[in-house]
Amino acid sequence: MAIIVPAILEKTAEDFNRTLSVVVKLPNLERIQVDFGDGQFIANRLLSASDMDTLSPAFEWEAHLMCQAPNDFLDYQICGFKTLLLHYEAFPSAAELKKTISDAKGMGFKVGVAINPDSSVNVLKDIEADEYLVMSVVPGKQGQEFILKTLERIKELRALKSHAIIEVDGGVNETNIKSIKEAGADLICVGSALVKAADVNMAYEKLIMAMNS
């Protein structure tokens, strides 16, 4: 059964805390994603983990690292993140990515590997991870339109990694969330359609209804 994962993308701790205060009140919420960007892998420099308070253990927290070859994960561990999402394209080689996955697992993290819209799903064939994230927009900016070919990419990944946890992130809304679920996604990240809505609770309810209709 697919679940909705609110995605928080903010530049300051103040903005993050404001958004978080609304998100944590959503009913039956299990998991929250926080986006990080270094200004290199993506154009935007986003919130830093070192500026964050300790996160509530009531939720499963994942850090989406839109960063060039990240290797220092201590601040994420201190905050309370359980899963790190690393971008395949952020590393100079698959070998470097595999080493970083191993290092992160050695610190007790679960690790997911993300791929951008223009990367072949097949690059993940020999990458062993706890989950795989298919980006359905170009990473780094909320509010972009969902790339339709993502639905086929989810199916390709499911064929490649039949028992994998598949996550999808970018451009998700009421009109496409059911198709994303039916394509094979387990975790569906929703950013602006949820956290920027005038009424977050109503938006969340509508997304759940649309996904399960």
Interatomic CA distance for residues 202 and 26, integer angstroms: 10
- The model's pLDDT over 97-107, given as tens digits with 9 standing for 90+, comes to 999 999 999 99
Element (DSSP H or E) covering residue 169: strand 166-169
What pLDDT, on the 0 to 100 scale, is given for residue 128? 97
Q: How many domains does the chain have?
A: 1
Whole-Å CA distances, 172 to 107, 132, 213: 32, 17, 16
Which of 173, 189, 180 minimizes the C-alpha distance to 9? Answer: 189
Interatomic CA distance for residues 156 and 134, integer angstroms: 11
Pairing verdict, β 131-135 and 110-115 = parallel
The CATH number of residue 112's host domain is 3.20.20.70
Q: Residue 74 sits in which domain range?
A: 3-212
What pLDDT, on the 0 to 100 scale, is given for residue 143? 77
What pLDDT, on the 0 to 100 scale, is given for residue 18? 95
What pLDDT, on the 0 to 100 scale, is given for residue 47? 95
What pLDDT, on the 0 to 100 scale, is given for residue 1? 85
Q: Which residues of the chain fall below pLDDT 70?
A: none
What pLDDT, on the 0 to 100 scale, is given for residue 140? 79
Q: Tell me the pTM.
A: 0.96
